Each structure stands twice: as structure tokens, then as C-alpha cells.
Structure 1
Amino acid sequence: MRDDQQEELARLAAAGDNAALEALLAGIRPRVLRQCSRFLPCYQDAEEACQDVLLQVARNIRNFEGRSKFTTWLHVIVANGSRQTYRTLKRRAAEQGYAEMPVEVADARTTSVIAGSRLDLLDALERLEASRAELVAPMVLRDICQLDYREIATHLGIPEGTVKSRIHQARSQVREYLLAGL
């Protein structure tokens, strides 16, 4: 689905058009799943996050005011939903007595090292959120969702220079966490 079609369906859905909402959800599902997969290395976890994101879109579409593009609004929901799914999975693992989240043994010949680094990044973002929460959203929107600085500034309601500064600070802090092995 093209972005302009999404924008129109989002506008109609925000105004209460249920048919537009259904079409929007069906149209964005593949994109949402791909984006959730950027955060979560396990396909089943990405699917769970995708379902949660689609539910959040359906519940909150009336709050979409069109001040930013729908895709920007969606990126924020995807980032938050994926990170929330990761926190839930970590909590479940802890409740079941695991020191860390259980990971299926994978064949090293077919598994990318990126999967492990994504989990490390999510842990680092969680740690950063605990100490400097205002730095997390700009970095996630830029480095994971790949939005440009202007879109991030518009969405967050802060100057573009502040966005760049926060991203720089976040990257430095996350780099320290990753180098220290969390």
C-alpha cells in the first residue's frame, strides 16, 4: 500500500470510518511485521508485537490528528509496541526462573549475529530509558525506524538541533552500555 493511500485511510479512520480502518489495518500489516522484525529477532515475537501494534492502531486511531504523517505516528507505535513486547517476554522469562530469556539453539550457519545484537540493543535502550528517557525516542526513530531529523522534530515537538543532540547523547550512552557488556 502506498503512503498516500495510508494517509487517506488514516484520515478517514480517525474520523470514524470503520471500513477505512479495516482496510488500513490490512494494508499496513506487512510493513508493521517487517518493522517489528527489526526490533525482535524471533519471528514469533515479531508477530506478537505486530498484533499488539495493530490493536493499538485500532484503539488509538481517533487520536491521530494528522499533525505528522501517519507513517511517523505508526513508527512510534511500532517502536513502543516492540519494546513493550520485549519487556513482557523478559518478565515472563524471569517469572519462569530463567536468568535470561530462553533462546532456542540455532544453527550458526543459518543464523545472523544480528539477532543477538538486537537483544543487546533492546537491553541497552531499557537501561537508557531508566536513566535518560528523553534520549530513547529520538534514537529509536532515527536509527531503527530511519526517520529523518525533521520528521522526528515535528513528531516530538522539539527543535531539530535538540533532536540531533539527543541522538548523539543516546548513541554515546548506548555504545558505552554495549561495550561494557551491559
Structure 2
Amino acid sequence: MDPDEDVDALVRAAQAGDAEALNELLVRLQPLVLHRCSRFLPHRMDAEEAAQDALLMISRHLRDFGGRGSFRGWVTVIASNCARGTYRSMRRHSEVVGAAPLLESADPQTTSVIAGTRLDLLETLDALGAAYPDLVDPFVLRDLGELTYDEIAAILNLPLSTVKDRIHRARTFVRGRLRPSAEHR
């Protein structure tokens, strides 16, 4: 049996109330969800926390998946949102308890290049969302979620040309913010 067909069968069974199918589905999704969360969060423990939140969200809202777009795409949306939510929560917590604030820009002497880039990207995604909220999801799904343009169009229920335009505009914004000499910081 094709792995995607097998997952689709598990989804249908879990949606019908089969607890064993739901359990098996979540076990199979765990590596994908952790990978998606790791694309955002620089520390494995944080990515694991976000992945657990995402798996819980998937289990609670599986009945809401109506087949618009791919199941993998739907999972990617949830994982991406949970990873970004985990980062925001960590940031708020550090501000509330008076801990050293999360850096606006990573210090290259104490932060790996990959971790610093992810922190900068999360800040940039928040700025993109504040300025152009309709550009965030297409960008995240394409460049971080690695979905095709067609999958994104189906998930977001948008024409393909609109998806491509939004991704182009988002990439332009992100590039301008992530350049070391950018004046936007």
C-alpha cells in the first residue's frame, strides 16, 4: 500500500472515531511535525514542545480536516503555527519574569548561525504578519513547509497566481529584513 494512501486510511478511520487509528496516525506524524517545528525553533527541546502542542491540536481538530488540500499541508499549517506560538510564548514569558529578553538579533558570539537565523526569521515573520498578514501563510507553507504552490492554493483556497504573488511579496519583505545591513531592524 502507498504510504500516503495508508495515512489517508488512518485519517478516515480516526475521523470516524477509531482510537487505535488516531494513535497510529500521531505516531507516524511525529517525525514530520518535529521536522516542521525544528525549521522554526533553534533548540530541540523547544521544537519538541511545539511538536507536542501540534500533535495535540491535530488530534483535537482532525474532524475539521475536510480534504481541502493535502493532509500533509494541513499538518504543516498546524505545526508551523504551533512553532511560532511557542516562540511568542517564550518571548512573553521572558518579559514577564524579568529574564534577559530574547534578542532582536542574535549575538554571533553566543548563538549558532542556524539558531540566530531562525530567531531573526521568527522576528521577521512577526513583522511581516503585522504589516501584511495575508502574506505570512503562503510564505511559511512554501519556504518553510516545503509545499508546492498547488498545495498552498488548495489549502488557502486561493488562485495559484495570488499564491505566487503573495510568496514573491513576502520573500521581498523577508530578504530586506534579514540582510545584515537592513535599516528595518
Identify whether the pair has TM-score above 0.5, normalized to the shorter chain.
yes
Q: Give the 5 Å matches for 1:85-96.
A: 85-96=86-97
Return the alpha-carbon distance in structure 1 between the equivalents of residues 113 and 184 of structure 2.
15
TM-score (norm 2): 0.89
Aligned to 1:130: 130
How many residues are paired up?
Answer: 178
- 1:18/1:107 CA distance change after superposition, 3 Å: farther
What percent identity do the matched residue pairs reach?
A: 48
Does the 8 A contact of 1:11 with 1:66 survive in 2? no
Quote how far apart the aligned CAs of 1:55 are: 0.5
Aligned to 1:28: 29
Give 4+ residue runs of structure 1 displaced > 6 Å after superposition: 105-108
- 5+ long unaligned stretches in structure 2: none
Aligned to 2:12: 11
Question: Secondary structure, in 3 states, of the residue corresponding to 1:93?
Answer: helix
Return the alpha-carbon distance in structure 2 between the equivalents of residues 90 and 126 of structure 1.
12
Aligned to 1:145: 145
Does the 8 A contact of 1:3 with 1:71 survive in 2? no
- Which of the residues 164, 179, 183 maps onto 1:180? 183
Superposition RMSD on alpha carbons, in Å?
Answer: 2.1
Q: Give the 5 Å matches for 1:1-182.
A: 2-98=3-99, 100-101=101-102, 112-178=112-178, 179-180=182-183, 182=185
Return the alpha-carbon distance in structure 1 between the equivalents of residues 184 and 6 of structure 2.
44
Quote how far apart the aligned CAs of 1:177 are: 2.1
CA deviations on 1:112-153 (whole Å, 9 max, x unpaired) are 411110110010000111111100000000000110100000
Does the 8 A contact of 2:57 with 2:78 survive in 1? yes
Return the alpha-carbon distance in structure 2 between the equivalents of residues 181 and 98 of structure 1.
25
- 5+ long unaligned stretches in structure 1: none
